[in-house]
Amino acid sequence: MRRARRLRGFTLVELMVVVAIAALLAVIAVHSLRRHVSSSKSIEALTMIQSIRAAQERYRSLNTVYLDVSVSGAWYPLDPTVPANRGIKTTFFQAPGADAHPDNAAWWQLNPSVAGPVQFGYMTRCGLPGQAMTVPQVETGAVWPATTEPWYVIEAAADADEDGILANYVASSINGEVFRKDEGE
């Protein structure tokens, strides 16, 4: 009888409870990791928007207007709407003349500070006092009025999690807000 008590192990129910708890913890961990990775990708866009804002303000302090770096209307450095560019990180600046992008020289002139490779595409349109602001490609619900000051509109977009849905960010010189759409996508 004593020997039978010592050899007794876990029951099937006890093992199933342990496995269920382990599976639940694994699901929570994976979900938290995905949220953290998604959040870290959005930090790139927010940081670059602030860097572009600072560069535009430096440029305006020297030239009284903002620099329109997206004259071609193309995303820089890569177009996030092209499926081949999904999930790719690339160097923001290429040497002048070494990049075929039509806005490369203008981005070099603006010179926002960049910490490393970027995954988002960026556009920055600017205008003079009295001109209606450029309406972003992303529907923000905001009214884009004519203004008595020079202005800029910054857009950032990427398919950060490669699911076919672009995460979009829009900011302007009118206020310090950043509009976000499909940020967690």
40 has a pLDDT exceeding 70: no
pLDDT tens column, 64-117? 999 999 999 899 988 888 888 887 888 888 766 666 788 988 999 999 988 888
- Rounded Cα distance, 32 and 38, in Å: 10
Query: What's the predicted TM-score (pTM) here?
Result: 0.75
pLDDT of residue 126: 92
Name the residue ranges covered by the structural domains of the chain.
Answer: 2-181
Using CA of residue 181, residue 170, residue 75, residue 50, what is the dihedral sign?
Answer: negative
Closest CA to 143 of 122, 172, 121, 123: 172
pLDDT in tens, 123-177: 999 989 888 777 776 666 666 666 788 999 999 998 877 778 888 899 988 888 8
